[in-house]
A and B are shown apart, each in its own frame.
Chain A
Amino acid sequence: QKEVEQDPGPLSVPEGAIVSLNCTYSNSAFQYFMWYRQYSRKGPELLMYTYSSGNKEDGRFTAQVDKSSKYISLFIRDSQPSDSATYLCAMKVDAGNMLTFGGGTRLMVKP
Chain B
Amino acid sequence: KAGVTQTPRYLIKTRGQQVTLSCSPISGHRSVSWYQQTPGQGLQFLFEYFSETQRNKGNFPGRFSGRQFSNSRSEMNVSTLELGDSALYLCASSFGDLTDTQYFGPGTRLTVL
Contact = CB atoms under 8 A, between A and B. Distances in A.
B55 interface: yes
Given A44-B90, A96-B56, A101 B103 contact: no
Interface centre among A34, A98, A101, A102 (most CB of B within 10 A): A98
Nearest to B93: A97
Instruction: Determine chain B's interface SS by DSSP, over half rule.
Output: strand
B43 interface: yes
Interface residues of A, number: 24
Contacts, number: 63
Interface stretch (A17-25, A45-53, A68-76): A45-53
B42 A98 contact: no
B106 A43 contact: yes
Interface of B: 4, 31, 33, 35, 42-45, 48, 50, 55-56, 58, 90, 92, 94, 96, 98-107, 109
Contact of B4 (A43, A94, A97, A104): A43
